[in-house]
Amino acid sequence: MAVNGWGYWGKLTVRHGETIDIPISVAAGRRDFEVSLWWPETVTQIHNDLDVHLINPTGGTSASARAAASVFERTTATGPLAEGTWQIRIRGYRVPTDAQVVYWAAAIHF
């Protein structure tokens, strides 16, 4: 959990090819934006591949994670953060099942 900063978390459902943006307001003087995803899969389920990106206020990608063989994704935009609205972008890169429940958590430090 966040130490010396703010923590955020949630649960959502992602389908194949779908992109979901979660807006996070970042105040001046903040640094190190961390985000992680986790999704449950059964032993018999075909593996789903989800990606996470941190999009800065100008629309550029500041960090991303695209591990193919895991049910975890984690990335960090290190250093001082631009003030404004950032996006946690979650993408259903390959979701052969109908939809995948995803849990996410983020931290922004002072």
pLDDT of the chain, 110 residues: tens digit per residue:
556 899 999 999 999 999 999 999 999 999 999 999 999 998 898 999 999 999 999 999 999 998 888 999 999 999 999 999 999 999 999 999 889 999 999 999 99
Question: What does the pLDDT read at residue 97?
Answer: 82
The enclosing domain of 70 has a CATH number of 2.60.120.380
How many domains is the chain built from?
1
Is this structure's pTM higher than 0.85?
A: yes
Q: Please give the structure tokens belonging to residue 82.
A: 């631009």
Q: What pLDDT is stored for residue 67 in this prediction?
A: 85
H helix or E strand, kind and range, residue 51: strand 49-55
Question: Which residues constitute the domain of residue 90?
Answer: 5-109
CA distances from residue 81 to 4, 63, 72 in whole angstroms, order as listed: 15, 12, 24
